[in-house]
Amino acid sequence: MSVTAPLGFRAAGVAAGIKPGGARDLALVVNDGPSRAAAGVFTANRVKAAPVLWSQQVLAGGRLRAVVLNSGGANACTGTEGFQDTHATAEKVAAALEDSAGEVAVCSTGLIGERLPMDALLSGVETAAGQLSRDGGLAAADAIRTTDTVSKISFKRAAGYMVGGMAKGAGMLAPALATMLCVITTDADLTSEELDAVLRRATSRTFDRLDTDGCMSTNDTVLLLASGAAGVKPDLAEFEQKVHEVCADLARQLLVDAEGASKAIAIEVVGAASEADAVTVGRAVARSNLLKCAVHGEDPNWGRVLAAVGTTDAVFEPDRLNVAINGIWICRGGAVGDDRSKVDMRPRDVTITVDLSAGPHTATVHTTDLTADYVHENSAYSS
Amino acid sequence: MSVTAPLGFRAAGVAAGIKPGGARDLALVVNDGPSRAAAGVFTANRVKAAPVLWSQQVLAGGRLRAVVLNSGGANACTGTEGFQDTHATAEKVAAALEDSAGEVAVCSTGLIGERLPMDALLSGVETAAGQLSRDGGLAAADAIRTTDTVSKISFKRAAGYMVGGMAKGAGMLAPALATMLCVITTDADLTSEELDAVLRRATSRTFDRLDTDGCMSTNDTVLLLASGAAGVKPDLAEFEQKVHEVCADLARQLLVDAEGASKAIAIEVVGAASEADAVTVGRAVARSNLLKCAVHGEDPNWGRVLAAVGTTDAVFEPDRLNVAINGIWICRGGAVGDDRSKVDMRPRDVTITVDLSAGPHTATVHTTDLTADYVHENSAYSS
């Protein structure tokens, strides 16, 4: 499973001593080829962590031999010293693999604004390099967790090849990559240009449509590595479908594990004049703290849905808006619709359907409810 | 005090039976002239409540004889029947005053999506009209409360005239009028054009810079009425200063009473290339749930400030950002600055200063922390 399901990949996850308490905190994923084609997408936040700046440069070459990831520290807002730390980490991986640092991506996650403990980290890289194995995918996925309560892994089989992935992310989930680290691997044979196009489309419709708290991270990174070890040139449409499935599966796992959440809410926008309108409306609704509180209280408060829709510039007429919650159309034509007592809000999954009555386009944005546990977790925990 | 401090105004606040429990829920403010000049600003939400649609039409004429306000129901998303209810309310006020409904503004606040109990409301209008008095301002301010724990009133004396005001608002406070109802009165003599210009500038720098939960209401209304009863043509700059002071005072009262809040946070943006940039950055920071949780936990988490700044398109370089919390510059040049242990987060008032190092402009946006009490209040209470 995870990133080592496809042929050509080895991984390891070790406790380097970056996190207090001895939990795993350093992961290494290595592509043994024969191909090293790779692509990446990164946070849209203009305040980018050092590892993001480094990995963007590396990915410009379209090739990756390895990815090193640490939890326990984001190495964001750490100045030129922080960038040098990332560089040193890549060099250490390169030395262990007798390869070039220019093909080593670095990902970090954890508290912003603190330097990483480099002695511990570099010796962890050495340990991880010594433990690389074909079944190291689970340990690697475990090592990148921060407030995640479970490891997130996924795996899909296709015609003669496989796609595997791991991700971390539990808070600060918002558009432009949903605050996360994710590594996806395949043993199919593709060029970096093909991987780039597929990855951008897949992430734009999965991770980019997750918005649990409207907060965008400084460290988001999604990488796609192809070893070509299966010797298969895949059908591109099928490959894109598999990558999409892995991304969607991991995105769902992030959503379900979101900090303090008790409900998984799908905001399904239909009848939009464009897909962009549908996404805009979905995000506005997903970011309404008042609505998220109402869902937590199992109150089918469609007024708060309309109040959020009204803040957008999407094409719609207020008196043609319809809203259903869990299938009951409690708002029709911008006013009261079916009996709200018919809405069953008890299931963990809540679907809010917004019909803009303005066209044929649709999009779904996923979010969670707002709970006292979220407040507690993010008041007590520095991240 | 309140709206009846200036000469020429009478008011009343009564229990009409719109709210369960017998609390005051209907206010009437009457301008006895000699002037009836008036201006209004309304929510930017495209889903507007019936009373907003009505009052916008009325204000096109630039004159107001009276304002009738109810709590206990927003009359939003109630279709054409809801608009007819608003119309009937204005007609009832007009009949009681033997005047024209075309000069009666209507304001409603409370739950969205339910029709108002019109029998109770109309008989309440009659009662209120019978109780109008020169000292009815406090009862009127009390009658417009929803989840507000206190009445919000303000009053400033100027050269030969006065400015008074009342407001309600405790949740759903966001830009574009901070989800509120507000009536401001003066006995100075001004044209409706003068009032309009003054009111727009004053609200844009006070109520519009309040953002407690990013949620914009369907009912926001701020009205400014001038009776001319003091017989004074005021100096316009002084008058604008007084109106600004009343608005700022009421805005501060809304902030302090915001649902579930334990901290009042000022996001002071300096060094901006434009005032618009400063406001954009201030709002982005004010809307970060993660930062609001951190402040609640008294954690000077400047990383969450930078992560919010990075989501904007304001002019800045990440490595020239400085952040102070309560006067301690804990982030300098986009990286660690002074010792975070020096920051005292215990006071109720927390000031976060963001220096963009990009120009001479500034703006301050006010918000609150995010607390379990906010979640509780908005889960348990339908509004």
For residue A285, what is the nearest residue in chain B, using CA coordinates? Answer: B215
Residue B317 in marked binding region:
no
Burial of A347 (0-12, 13-18, 19+ CB in 10 A): exposed
Shortest CB distance from A296 goes to which of B172, B299, B375?
Answer: B375
A74–B213 C-beta distance less than 8 A:
no
**Structure tokens given for A275:** 């897909």
pLDDT of residue A177: 38
The dihedral region occupied by A294, where left means phi > 0, alpha psi between -120 and 50, and beta the remainder, is alpha
pLDDT of residue A175: 39
Residue B179 among the catalytic residues: yes
Closest Cα in chain A, distance from residue B272 (Å):
16
Task: State the best of B80, B289, B298 to mutate against chain A, taking most chain A CBs within 10 Å.
Answer: B289
CATH number of B2-254: 3.60.70.12
Residues of chain B with pLDDT under 50: 172, 174-178, 381, 383
Helix/strand number for chain B, H first, E second: 10, 15
pLDDT at A187 over 50: yes
pLDDT at A301 over 70: yes
For residue B315, what is the nearest residue in chain A, using CA coordinates? Answer: A46
pLDDT of residue A361: 95
The CA distance from B226 to B62, in Å, is 11
Report the 10 Å Cβ neighbour count for A257: 22
pLDDT at A281 over 90: yes
The CA distance from A42 to A12, in Å, is 23
pLDDT at A215 over 80: no
A290–B378 C-beta distance less than 8 A:
yes
Residue A219 in marked binding region:
no
- Side-chain-side CA neighbours of residue B341 (13 Å): 0
Q: Which amino acid is at B217?
A: S
B376–A113 C-beta distance less than 8 A:
no
CATH number of A2-256: 3.60.70.12
pLDDT band at A251 (very low <50, low <70, confident <90, very high): confident
Nearest residue to B220 via CA among B114, B112, B120, B117:
B112
Query: What is the bridge-based pairing of β-strands B152-157 and B162-168?
Result: antiparallel
Burial of B348 (0-12, 13-18, 19+ CB in 10 A): exposed
pLDDT at A48 over 90: no
Closest Cα in chain B, distance from residue A167 (Å):
21
Say if CB B201 and CB B241 are below 8 A apart: no
Any idea which residue has 């000022």 for tokens? B266
The CA distance from B208 to B257, in Å, is 17
**Structure tokens given for A288:** 């309404």
Chain B residues inside the 8 Å CB shell of A319 = 79
What value of ipTM does the predicted structure carry? 0.73
Least confident of A63-67, A111-115, B278-282: A111-115
Residues of chain A with CATH 3.10.20.340: 264-380
Task: Select which of B86, B179, B212, B353 is catalytic.
Answer: B179
pLDDT mean across residues, chain A:
89
Shortest CB distance from A112 goes to which of B78, B213, B307?
Answer: B307
pLDDT of residue B87: 97
pLDDT of residue B114: 85
pLDDT tens column, A151-185? 989 999 998 999 999 988 765 454 343 357 889 99
Residues 6+ apart with CB under 8 A from B21: none
Least confident of A257-266, A325-334, B236-245: A257-266
* Integer CA distances (angstroms), B181 to B83, B177, B223, in order: 18, 9, 8
Q: Greater confidence, A326 or A77?
A: A326
Cα-trace Rg, chain B: 21
Residue B146 in marked binding region:
yes
Chain B residues inside the 8 Å CB shell of A115 = 336
Topology of domain B264-380, CATH: Ubiquitin-like (UB roll) (3.10.20)
Residues of chain A with CATH 3.60.70.12: 2-256
Any idea which residue has 């750490």 for tokens? A78
Closest Cα in chain A, distance from residue B371 (Å):
6
Burial of A289 (0-12, 13-18, 19+ CB in 10 A): buried
pLDDT at A124 over 80: yes
Tell me the β-bridge partners of A106.
A68
Residue B179 in marked binding region:
yes
- Give the percent of chain A with pLDDT over 70: 94
Shortest CB distance from A290 goes to which of B47, B215, B310?
Answer: B215
pLDDT at A383 over 50: no
Burial of A109 (0-12, 13-18, 19+ CB in 10 A): buried
pLDDT at A188 over 70: yes
Q: What is the DSSP-derived secondary structure letter of residue A47?
A: S
**Structure tokens given for B289:** 């749930």
Q: Where are the beta strands (DSSP E) in A203-302?
A: 221-226, 264-272
Q: Which amino acid is at B44?
A: A
Closest Cα in chain A, distance from residue B346 (Å):
14
pLDDT of residue B70: 94
Task: State the best of B262, B375, B381, B383 to mutate against chain A, taking most chain A CBs within 10 Å.
Answer: B375
Q: How are strands ordered across the β-sheet holding A181-186?
A: A38-42, A221-226, A181-186, A162-168, A152-157
Residue B383 in marked binding region:
yes
Chain B residues inside the 8 Å CB shell of A262 = none
DSSP per-residue letters across B280-324: HHHHHHHT-HHHHHHHHTT---HHHHHHHHTTS--S--GGG-EEE
pLDDT of residue A179: 54
pLDDT of residue B179: 54
Q: Greater confidence, A342 or A110?
A: A342
pLDDT tens column, B210-262? 776 555 667 778 899 999 999 999 999 999 999 999 998 888 888 877 777 88
For residue A215, what is the nearest residue in chain B, using CA coordinates? Answer: B288
Cα-trace Rg, chain A: 21
pLDDT of residue B383: 43
The CA distance from B188 to B207, in Å, is 23
Chain A residues inside the 8 Å CB shell of B304 = 112, 215
